Amino acid sequence: MATQQPPYPRFPIAEVTTEDGTGKKVFTVTVPWGTYFRNLRDDVNSSPIAQAVVSTPSAGASASIGTTTIVTPSSDGYFIFQYYAAVTTPATTGAATSSLTTTLSWTDSGVSKSKSFPAMTGNTAVTTDSNDYLFFADGGAPISYSTTYASDTAGQMVYKLFGVVSSAASA
């Protein structure tokens, strides 16, 4: 992806020139602005586009989340799954550790696949985890996620989860 450079305000967006013979004024885009617009098009064309977002309720979750469809893409392509998880309320009664495992599921060339990310472990309000994963998915087949919650004292640890599926490139 090209690095987007902002235009320099000291440059005018266009130059006025006069055509030879006719004396007609012509407005031509200046080189810095032409470069900016060319790079902007390249940056937009190569940038991931968010397909869908998932998140726990604002109060958080304190149990596993079953398989939940994030998006069903309309065509085959490469996608990026990114997520952020955090403990919002630690377990208090007898809980030494709690863990949360996030799993992504999809279909690639007709074959069901899944990726379980490393468990987020800990029982403090500063416990967090994030990850991103590139994968190929079939159009018309759901892309899903789930979580597996474990704690010494069930239901006490509360966590939040935010995830997004972005389109990286079409097949």
- pLDDT at residue 1 in the model: 46
More confident residue, 22 or 162: 162
CATH entry, 49-170, from 3.10.450, 3.40.50, 2.60.120, 1.25.40: 2.60.120
Answer whether residue 150 shows pLDDT above 60: yes
Q: Where are the domains of the chain?
A: 14-46, 49-170
pLDDT, greater one: 79 or 97: 79
What was the pLDDT predicted at 151? 78
pLDDT at 6 over 60: no
Please tell me which residue, 41 or 51, carries the higher pLDDT value: 51
pLDDT above 70: residue 94 = no
Instruction: Give me the residues paired with residue 25 across strands.
Output: 18
**pTM of the predicted protein model:** 0.70
